[in-house]
Amino acid sequence: MSAPANSISEQAGGAVLARGGESAASLHRILILIMIVALIALPWFVYPVFLMKVLCFALFACAFNLLLGYGGLLSFGHAAYFGGASYVAAHAAKVWGLTPELAILTGTAAAAAMGTVFGALAIRRQGIYFAMITLALAQMIYFFSLQAPFTGGEDGIQSVPRNPLFGVIDMRDDINLYFFVAAIFLGGFLLIYRIIHSPFGQVLKAIRDNEARAISLGYRVNQYKLAVFVLSATLAGVAGATKSMVFQLASLTDVHWTMSGEVVLMTLVGGMGTIFGPIAGAIVIVSMQNYLAQLGAWVTVVQGVIFVACVLLFREGIVGVLSRRLRLPL
Amino acid sequence: MFELLGVPPQALFGQLLLGLINGSFYAMLSLGLAIIFGLLNIINFTHGAQYMMGAFVAWMMLNYLGIGYWPALLLAPILVGLTGVVIERLLISRLYNLDHLYGLLLTFGLALIIQGLFRNEFGSSGLPYQIPQSLQGGYNLGFMFLPMYRGWVVVFSLIVCIATWLIIEKTRLGAYLRAATENPALVGAFGINVPRLVTITYGVGVGLAALAGVLAAPIYSVNPNMGADLIIVVFAVVVIGGMGSILGAIVTGFGLGLIEGLTKVFYPEAAATVIFIIMIIVLLIKPAGLFGRTA
């Protein structure tokens, strides 16, 4: 695993460290400001629905990166929380008639509950077994979604209504919906940023880099692992629930293992364990899917090739390389 | 007609047989995964795709070259095993000194490539593969009808599994393999070419998957997605059994196939998920797996 990050470099005094601490924080503040400006400006230049798709996947990838990049845990079943939450939110909006914010909260709560149970099971094994267990548990959710009465089987839950936000703001207008989605994304991103830089986040990195040492220092490693797993699953749920509001659809695609693979790919392409990497990865992969959509199964092949190429030649990812070249902690 | 537990025996034994067949695929696939994991320390996500390749190679041999089932049973695993050797040499061997998870990601990417290519070429609907002439028909056992081919699959895969186990436990090559699993550096110091052993092991593991694919071809239609969902179930089987023991992988595979078959009879809704539920129970009671060694 690449182990850049602040915990080591800030103490050791490397190149990155010279700018660490305070200046890193102000750099991040500037980048986040730029991001906010971009979020406000972009819908006037780019198709808002495409942007919303990117934002949903970017939040999903950021949530996944919290677990993999900072917790060192490779979950191969994050589609369960993303897709599970999108089903619950779609059901809440369509059948119960809840407003979008409440529907998303309902979906998120479902993802959090699932994350708690599955996380508690999966952290009983390490490494490769952890990946296989999360994958198997997610496949169970897939079969459940295929058979359960409320998910609509192969059709999914279609034409989910865009109810008015807080009961007043019209969500059928793409721009209104866009700013709602952008606010959710920004909130989720800032929360993850805060988690990474909190004392809790520092302990996570310590566990990732040397679990035995963290145990010997008296940290209850399993509680930290479970906590980060639940946080990651919950935020993945926020992303999935929001996506079902945007596309007015919850379908089997979102719970399938290919979706779990896609979020791994986004994180890998962008740079594991970097703050902005997953966003870059989501932009690249979603754009690629858009441009190659008419090529059918070739999209799968291209994704596979990117996977192989990244693992063999480009393990740091886009932002990881940038961060090293520019000697800035991104 | 008498009934067993409220189920006609035809249905019960029919499903049990199907369960045994699935179990033999689980056993052969998890056996291959366990051997590969033992020596290479990677989980071969491509395993499902390689099982599918075995079935497709047999289908292509029959339809393009007129090579029948029996030669294909030998040739297809060898061919697919050779592609495995190439993959190991060119790609996987570059990852041995990295975190294990990169091996998982690499083989996942390879599985996507292989499945995508086959889907482009053959579409997603299944292609039929005839049961060979000599195995058509079946026996009436009184309590059930046993199609000859299905009986053959169970018996043959049991033989393959036991033979693999014997090779690993009782032969010199198997001793090298077990030694290299424990301590590759030391085995290398004794003059054994460990990298070559690793390559051969990967090829054989892949060949086992392809062999299961050829066996499956006449039962399930030959389909680019046939391995994708199967491999996830096999992962659950591996978690349940633990990868420490070869015999454990075989027993767990057949046992879980039977349980799945029984579930299909008594509570069909849960048939797709029963193995995952058993995995959860095993994780709660014995996290290292039924036959696993604690890490």
| Cα first-last separation, chain A | 17
Q: ipTM value of the model?
A: 0.89
Tokens of B214: 């050829």
Contact A128 B280 (CB under 8 A): no
CB count within 10 Å of CB A135 equals: 30
Is residue B255 in some structural domain?
Answer: no
DSSP class of residue B98 equals: S
- State the Cα–Cα distance between residues B13 and B22, nearest whole angstrom: 14
DSSP class of residue A70 equals: I
A297 Cα to chain B: minimum distance (Å): 5
Q: Which sign does the torsion angle of CA A302, B119, B27, B176 carry?
A: negative
Q: How far is CA B60 from CA A79, A285, B75, in A?
A: 35, 34, 12
The DSSP code sequence of B216-248 is HTTTSPB-TTHHHHHHHHHHHHHHHH-TT-HHH
Is residue B165 in some structural domain?
Answer: yes
- A140-189 confidence digits (pLDDT tens): 999 999 988 888 888 899 989 888 888 888 888 899 999 999 999 999 99
- A226-244 confidence digits (pLDDT tens): 999 999 999 999 999 999 9
Query: Which of B112, B117, B235 lies closest to A307 in CB terms?
Result: B112
- A145-159 confidence digits (pLDDT tens): 998 888 888 889 998
Check: CB of residue B178 under 8 Å from CB of residue B171.
no
A–B: how many Cβ contacts below 8 A?
122
Check: CB of residue A86 under 8 Å from CB of residue A244.
yes
Q: Average pLDDT, stretch A33-45?
A: 94
Query: What local confidence, expressed as pLDDT, does residue B1 receive?
Result: 47
Domain residue limits at B121: 24-224
Domain boundaries, chain A: 47-257
B31 Cα to chain A: minimum distance (Å): 16
Closest of B35, B32, B57 to residue B230, by C-alpha: B32
Q: Mutation target for B interface from A123, A132, A256: give the one with most B CBs within 10 A.
A: A132
Is residue B15 in some structural domain?
Answer: no
DSSP class of residue A47 equals: -
Position B16 pLDDT exceeds 60: yes
Query: What local confidence, expressed as pLDDT, does residue B2 receive?
Result: 57
Query: What local confidence, expressed as pLDDT, does residue B198 receive?
Result: 93
Number of domains chain B contains:
1
Q: Mutation target for B interface from A2, A114, A129, A313: give the one with most B CBs within 10 A.
A: A129
Check: CB of residue A77 under 8 Å from CB of residue A137.
yes
A269 Cα to chain B: minimum distance (Å): 12
CB count within 10 Å of CB B159 equals: 10
- Chain B positions contacting chain A at CB under 8 Å are 37, 42-43, 91, 94-95, 98-102, 104-106, 108-117, 119-120, 228-229, 232-233, 235-236, 238-239, 269, 272-273, 276-277, 279-280, 283-284, 287, 295
- A70-102 confidence digits (pLDDT tens): 999 999 999 999 999 999 999 999 999 999 999
Query: What local confidence, expressed as pLDDT, does residue A170 receive?
Result: 86
Query: Which of A137, A147, A304 lies closest to B110 in CB terms?
Result: A304
Span of A7-16, A293-302, B165-174, B234-243 with lowest mean pLDDT: A7-16
- Which pairs count as long-range contacts for B191-199, CB under 8 Å and 24+ apart, including other chains? B195/B93, B197/B39, B198/B39, B198/B40, B198/B88, B198/B93, B199/B85, B199/B88, B199/B89, B199/B93
Contact A136 B110 (CB under 8 A): no
Residues of B in contact with A133 (CB under 8 A): 239, 279, 283
Contact A137 B284 (CB under 8 A): no
B57 Cα to chain A: minimum distance (Å): 20
3-state helix, strand, coil in chain B (%, to 5): 75, 5, 25
Is residue B189 in some structural domain?
Answer: yes
pTM, entire model: 0.90
Check: CB of residue A52 under 8 Å from CB of residue A178.
yes
Span of B103-107, B257-261, B285-289 with lowest mean pLDDT: B285-289
DSSP run (H or E) holding B119: helix B100-122
Dihedral, CA of residue A289, residue A171, residue A56 and residue A226, to nearest 10:
-150
